[in-house]
Amino acid sequence: AFVGRPRPADVDGDAAAGPRTVAAAFARDRHWAAGDDDAEARPPRTDAEDAALEACLLYELGWEAAAPVAAELPPSRYVVFPDARGVAASFVPPDVEALVGDAVADAPTCAAARGAVDRLLDAADALPATAHARYVVGFGLDGPRGALRDVADVAEARAAALLRLFGRLATSTERSSVVVLTRGVHPDAWGAPDGAGVWGGALWGAATSARVELAALRADPPAIACVDSGRRASSKALRREVQGALSDDVRLADGSRAVARLRPGRRHHAASALDVSPPAGVLVITGGTGALGLAVTRWLLELRARDVDAGAAAAATRICLLSRSGGASPAYVAGRGDLDAAARRAGASVEALAVDVGDDAALERALSDLGPVAGVVHAAGLLADAALAQEELAKLRA
């Protein structure tokens, strides 16, 4: 969710010439936000200076039309994590060695799904080394299936599959490549999504991180590309991507092919960045009493107040902030006065509830007490910094 205009004045631009090392357990070389003392030591920037700094620091993902993918010497082996319909496996050339696992979405339990993944990679490990192994991640083509808890189990199994795969590639010396197939991650590529894009977005994020991390760990890192398809993307186009040279993240829709490119970002303002109105009813924000959750709450209240000022029907909006600490959160306690004032201006109410969203029973009790939910913003998370190859499923589950 867009939570407001980025503030370049809060970024330590003087350190941009070289990263600052932070003395913390998870420290890496990064640029960090400047402290309050730094902000007071320099005069406020003008709007023109803000705009110039944004032009240097703010980038966004864009899409450029591209020619069909180039052909290359075909991989000598395919290892396929299939989708439920077997579409990904059908893209493997018939004359090339292929290992195809069981569909993760069809496994009756999360443990069974992880077992299917382990069996596939163990079988790949047992084969002799090959000139080029290509891993095809096809389960991003699947939408959600089954009840909510079953869907969560499938998501966990997919995360386990990627962790196992990227961990294997971090220590492997064979030439390899990975193509991740998804559907509907970029909604402007096709019509109304059916939920598949929610799963695929997480796969894109993991693949992007793995691309960076494996490049630092291996002299000959694997090529990793994501391919997102719309409803009218042809099977022939997808087959070319699976069999072709991997160099770009790709979007296929309406017979066209586009590749992802970073470009200078456009300036946004909170009032015009998203032309949306918060729905009336109960809005749930997980991790709601943390910094991100409170920022989203203030943004929703601003939008609601704008609608009220414009004469829109002032149906009741109730914002419920779920977190482990609930109303005892220091950030919530410190800002409650301002939050309550903003809620009154917006004709809404805000309350904090102590609920661990990782506890299924506790979450179900809280949701049953709240009644019908009109919208959810997921802002809960834990700081557990680690490379993907060293990441553990238990930390992702938390």
pLDDT digits (tens, 9 = 90+) for 174-210: 899 999 999 888 865 444 445 566 677 888 888 988 9
CA-CA distances (angstroms) from residue 140 to 68, 82, 128, 180, 214? 22, 9, 28, 7, 21
> If DSSP codes are grouped into helix, strand and coil, which group holds residue 79?
strand
Note the pLDDT of residue 185.
85
CA-CA distances (angstroms) from residue 64 to 19, 29, 226, 248? 31, 31, 15, 11
CB 175 within 8 A of CB 237: no
Q: Inform me whether the pLDDT recorded for 32 exceeds 60.
A: no
Please tell me the CATH code under which domain 77-265 is placed. 3.40.50
Confidence of residue 145 (pLDDT cuts 50, 70, 90): low
Q: Do domains 77-265 and 276-398 have the same CATH topology?
A: yes
Q: Inform me whether the pLDDT recorded for 354 exceeds 80.
A: yes
Read off the tokens for 337.
Answer: 């006065």
Q: Tell me the sheet residues that pair with 320.
A: 284, 351
Report yes or no on whether pTM surpasses 0.75.
no
Query: For the domain with range 276-398, which CATH number is right: 3.40.50.2000, 2.60.120.260, 3.40.718.10, 3.40.50.720?
Result: 3.40.50.720
Note the pLDDT of residue 343.
93
- Where do the domains of the chain lie? 1-44, 77-265, 276-398
Compute the average pLDDT of residues 73-99.
91
